[in-house]
Structure 1
Amino acid sequence: MSADPALVRETACAIVDKLKAGEVTPLDLLDTLEQRISEVDGAVNALPTLCFDRARDRAAELMKRPAAERGLLAGLPLPIKDLTAVAGVLTTQGSPIYKDNIPVQSDLMVEHLEHNGALVYAKSNTPEFGAGANTFNEVFGATRNPWDLSRSAAGSSGGAAAALASGTAWLAQGSDMGGSLRNPASFCGIVGLRPSFGRVAHTPAAAIDRNLGVNGPMARNVEDVALLLDAMSGEHASDPLSLPSPASSFLAAARARTRPLRVAYSPDLGITPVDPEVAAITRKAAERFAEAGVIVEQAQPDLSEAHECFHVLRAFDFAISKAELLRTKRDLLKPEVIWNIEQGLALSVDDLAKAEAQRVTMTARTVEFFKTYDLLLCPATITAPFPVEQRYLAECNGHKFDNYVEWLGIVYAITLVCCPALSLPCGFTASGLPVGLQMVARPRNEAGLLAGAAVLEDILGLRGATPIDPRPAPASL
């Protein structure tokens, strides 16, 4: 039993193959991760809570079974985002309110992953209650981008993305309401997939039918993301909206490399400013689909109501889930969370009815759009990573945003229309910072999305760019 630094650079699929062949043990992997974390995470702060003793205890139990009976992941370790309960492990949600909170029961998503052979060894950092696309909080501080430690890792799954980029995870769980998987994937040069709602079962909270936020997989390449999606998927009676696993695995779909026939590219979805450099990088990447014989055209569905609709529905979600905290713990909440809750409490039934009608209309337009196009491509985020001290993006390409979430419109518009979407690394800025391409498929078509993403990943040739050792900010000239 020993750490092997070379394992850090292996893919998750290769690690699982080694586990199943008996070439490495889960304990070897935990030793390797613990050593890597000690070497690099002090600078990054991706994984502030570690639970290696718990992971080793579970590994020992798992290893009593024959290799063929250890689940899909066969003892592969992965971190869980600090919004999600893990039994016996500090789970703060990035809030001082929960700075000492140790749940007695895991979220059923965690239980499902552990049933499939995952070993939880850490909690990944997140902003308070996942609010805001920059990962910092009063409990653990800020997570920094491994590509440039002066830059943000985005959020709210910033700790997960930074861990993958810096080699302290092979796979990571994240969650996504307004781009919380896709933005950090773009900023950190890894792959993050927001699945269709119901694809990943979870423990319901506040409302059975909350569906703006979903859990999803994050990894360094498309096949690894597909592997984790397989391990996360499946229906569960405790989540009445959960979907059964498909007959064929998502990993098989990714490996099939079935190419789309026609894709659409939009620089802005018709609703947001975009940094010109980011627009140029993503357009160039999308157009390279033509090398596989794919027709690429500029088009997008009409998503013009997205900002108004998302603002209302997001505020309502905060109101139903956090109003009691506003009444009893207001002094411990960050200003942005207070604003969100208060906006929700001020809503009328007419406001909600209008927003739900807008969502229905935009979704119908989008489903119709996918009768012509197999995939929709656009920037995964509208900017390159910004300074970590900047709470959010206040302005882009001359446009000043009205609030701290409006800059996320290019991702939350896709949330509203119920589509699976991923961020694929597609290039770098002139200063060497990663840029992600958002790839979107019709509802419940994760298989087609992963197949198309694998095709483009092959063309772009960026697979294997991570993990990297954390890089200090370039010296100013």
Structure 2
Amino acid sequence: MKAMLEWSPTELSAAIHARKVAPSEVMAAWLAQVEAINPAVNALVSLRDPDALMAEARALDDVQPHGWLHGIPFGVKDLVATKGVRTTWGSPLFADHVPVRDDLVAARLRASGAVIAGKTNVPEWGQGSHSFNPVFGVTRNPYDLSRGAGGSSGGAAAALATRMAWVADGSDMMGSLRNPAAFCNVYGFRPTWGLVPQDAEGDSYLSTLSTEGPMGRSVEDVARLLLVLAGENPEVPFPRAVPDLALDRDLRGCRIGWLGDWGGAYAMEPGILDLCEAALRQMEAMGAVVEPLAPPFPAEKLWSSWVTLRAMLNAGGKRALAEDPAKRAQTKPETIWEIEQGLSLSAQSVYEASVIRSRWHAHAARLFDRYDALVLPSAQVWPFPVDWRWPEEIAGRKMDTYHRWMEVVIPASLIGLPALSVPVGFSDRGLPMGMQVIGRSGGDMGVLGIGQAWHRATEWPQRRPPPLVQATASR
């Protein structure tokens, strides 16, 4: 049973479809792992009753398998509404909320055969890259339980690392797929904006900063889940064609632009750039051509555009949380700050922010005439103590907002580029780190192909699982 936990979802799916493994056997192995691991990590929340899950799995044993995820237990991110399964957004205002219908992501997972077994933990309202909230508490890093797992897909990343998930969904506005992947030694992919469509709720024309996406312990897993999640939703604008699954490539002749710390604009804790540069040297040995780049656009303009547009969207979607005194008292201060920043904006400032965004998009497009990928670290800090709200200082530089320490993810997020966080190794203290591989708009399979070549050469998630996993495997 324990070997099953190490299988890729593709291997597990093939075994289920060939009737070599029954969904009830998969569920039993998963429940045992959750019981052994989750109390220490707190990655999975709102878990369904084990007896009910076993009964659902047994009912699938004799059903003709359908869908890639048929019979596989799945924890859905707690920012996604799941019919009949508690969904809280990490907010005490929704601590007992049970949706009556699925959001699009959950519906597509179910259609692919997944058994929705619970949720993965998040920061309250998904804001801040540290997965703690007043409903469920904090998700801990599987490589060091005194540290956080990142966020907002921190529960998903920690579940993957600890073999409590074969594959996972996440979402990413400000690095929420990439930062926790880096912190937990797994892969997190932010697809080209629009490839995974939004739900038809609220604004769907201006809200083009955040996207759903896949996470996994291999790039093939990530790509296959992407194809489950992707595809047009005719109720929302800006559809994207779904690419074919095409991962096989090597790195010979692949042109990579290394952006480092953006000419010193992004403060970095010691050792992060060194680890990324060592990974790039390994890519060079695999045939890639790596060229250091000067900052291609003013970092402060990117930041100004980002915080303006983000605040505008937060104020538009969450204004009621600040204006209702009872709701305000139960809402995290970072969310209230975002709303108040947005309410203070003028139409002219939003327009100017959009112009900056537009100019960066045009400039980045020209960069991809020269490079197959641009590379940045996935995070500016190593996984930090769980009792911090956020890192207030990096390498002696004070952070002026609750999210400034994540600024390195902004170049891709602001203009919706595909970006894959790949594991690149560990610090001297055994803390994981990752590196963003960023591609041109629509170039998702090109980015994933680079990641696939990297994974085949390194297999970091398989080669160095967390101590908790090693301990349970030896029992």
Taking structure 1 as the reference length, what is the TM-score of the superposition? 0.93
User: Which residue of 2 is the match for residue 354 of structure 1?
Assistant: 352
For 1:127, the equivalent position in structure 2 comes to: 123
Q: Per-residue CA shift, 1:420-470, capped at 9, x if unaligned?
A: 001111011011110101110101111000111111223334241354343
Amino acid at match of 1:17: A
Post-superposition Cα deviations, 1:286-311, rounded to whole Å, max 9, x if no partner, equal 12111122111001532521111111
Match among 256, 260, 275 for residue 267 of structure 1: 260
C-alpha contact (below 8 Å) 1:310/1:413 kept by paired residues: no
Residue 231 of structure 1 corresponds to 228
For residue 10 of structure 1, what is the aligned residue in structure 2? 7
> Are 1:196 and 1:443, in contact at CA under 8 Å, matched by a contact in 2?
yes
Amino acid at match of 2:289: I
Structure 1 residue 114, shift from structure 2 partner:
1.2
Cα distance between partner residues in 2 of 1:17 and 1:258:
29
2:440 match: secondary structure: coil
How far is the alpha carbon of 1:130 from its aligned partner? 0.3
CA contact (8 A) 1:166 1:469 kept: no
Over 3 Å counting, the alpha-carbon distance change for 1:60 and 1:466 in structure 2 is: farther
Q: CA deviation at 1:75?
A: 2.8
Q: 1:302 aligns with which of 277, 291, 297?
A: 297
1:44 equivalent to 2:41? Answer: yes
Give secondary structure in 2 for the equivalent of 1:243: coil
Instruction: Check 1:106–1:466 CA distance in 2 against 1; reply closer, same or farther (3 A cut).
Output: farther
Match of 1:287 among 265, 268, 281: 281
**Do the aligned partners of 1:175 and 1:214 also contact (CA within 8 Å) in 2?**
yes
* Offset from partner CA, 1:313-347 (integer Å, 9 cap, x none): 11111101100121121000011111011111111
User: Once the 2 structures are TM-superposed, how far is the Cα of residue 74 of structure 1 from its aligned partner?
Assistant: 2.9
User: Is 1:217 aligned to 2:214, yes or no?
Assistant: yes
Q: CA deviation at 1:269?
A: 2.8
Show CA shifts across 1:146-169 (max 9, x none): 000000101111000011111111
Q: Does 1:112 find its partner at 2:108? A: yes
Are residues 1:136 and 2:132 paired? yes
Pairing partner for 1:368 from 366, 369, 374: 366
**Structure 1 residues 326 and 439 mapped into 2: Cα distance closer, same or farther (>3 Å)?**
same
* CA positional deviation for 1:13: 1.9
Quick one: which amino acid aligns to residue 171 of structure 2? S
Which of 20, 24, 27 lines up with 1:23 in the alignment? 20
Question: What code does the residue aligned with 2:397 have?
Answer: H
Offset, 1:384? 0.9
After the TM superposition, which parts of structure 1 deviate over 4 Å for at least 4 consecutive aligned residues?
52-65, 256-260
One-letter identity of the residue aligned with 1:38: E
Q: For 2:280 and 2:5, how far apart are their aligned partners in 1?
A: 30
Identity %: 37
Equivalent residues of 2:90, 2:121 under 8 A apart: yes
Which piece of structure 1 moves more, 338-347 or 457-466?
457-466
* 1:192 lines up with 2:188 in the alignment: yes
Instruction: Give the match's secondary structure for 1:43.
Output: helix
CA contact (8 A) 2:251 2:283 kept: no
> How much does 1:41 deviate?
0.5
Deviation at 1:415, TM superposition (A): 0.2
Write out aligned runs for 1:45-444 (5 A).
45-51=42-48, 59=57, 65-67=63-65, 70-209=66-205, 210-246=207-243, 248-249=244-245, 253-257=246-250, 261-270=254-263, 271-299=265-293, 301-304=296-299, 305-328=301-324, 329-444=327-442
Q: Which letter maps to 2:200?
A: P
SS in 2 for 1:376: strand
| Residue ranges of structure 2 left out of the alignment (5+ in a row) | 471-475
Q: Distance in 2 between matches of 1:225 and 1:263?
A: 22
RMSD between superposed Cα atoms in Å: 1.9
Aligned residues: 463
Matched residues in 2 for 1:387 and 1:53: separation?
A: 36
Distance in 2 (CA, whole Å) between partners of 1:100 and 1:361 is 45
1:453 maps to 2:448: no
Using the alignment, how far apart are the partners of 1:242 and 1:42 within structure 2? 41
Checking the alignment, whether the CA contact within 8 Å between 1:197 and 1:418 is kept in structure 2 is yes
Summarize the Cα distance change of 1:255–1:76 in structure 2 as closer, same or farther, 3 Å threshold.
farther
Is the CA contact 1:189–1:425 (under 8 Å) kept in the aligned structure 2?
A: yes
Q: Secondary structure at the match of 1:470?
A: helix
Contact 1:87 1:104 in 2 (8 A): yes
**CA distance 1:324–1:260, shift in 2 (3 Å):** farther
Q: Provide the C-alpha distance between the structure 2 equivalents of 1:45 and 1:417, rounded to a whole number of angstroms.
A: 33
**Is contact 1:43-1:470 (8 Å) kept?**
no
- Cα distance in structure 2, aligned partners of 1:269 and 1:204: 37
> What is the alpha-carbon distance in structure 1 between the residues aligned to residue 252 and residue 415 of structure 2?
23
SS of alignment partner, residue 86 of structure 1: coil
Contact between 1:93 and 1:126, CA under 8 Å: does it hold in 2?
A: yes
Corresponding residue SS for 1:78: strand
Of 264-273 and 348-357, more deviation after overlay is shown by 264-273
Contact 1:40–1:469 (8 Å) recurs in 2: no
The alignment partner of 1:392 has SS state of coil
The 8 Å contact of residues 163 and 469 in structure 2, kept in 1 or not, is answered as no
The 3-state SS of whatever aligns with 1:50 is: coil
Measured in 2, the distance between the counterparts of 1:121 and 1:461 equals 28
- Matched residues in 2 for 1:111 and 1:357: separation? 36
Q: How many angstroms does 1:222 deviate by?
A: 1.1
Distance verdict in 2 for CA 1:55–1:357, change over 3 Å: farther
**Letter paired with 1:137:** N
Aligned residues of 1:157 and 1:175 also touching (Cα < 8 A): yes
Cα gap change, 1:434/1:257 in structure 2, threshold over 3 Å: closer, same or farther? same
Identify if the C-alpha distance between structure 1 residues 13 and 213 changes in structure 2 by more than 3 Å, giving closer, same or farther.
Answer: same
Kindly provide the amino acid, as one letter, of the partner of residue 267 in structure 2. Answer: P
What amino acid maps onto 1:254 in structure 2?
Answer: L
Q: CA deviation at 1:133?
A: 0.8
Structure 2 residue identity aligned to 1:291: A
* Secondary structure in 2 matching 1:254: coil
Tell me the CA shift for residue 76 of structure 1.
Answer: 2.4
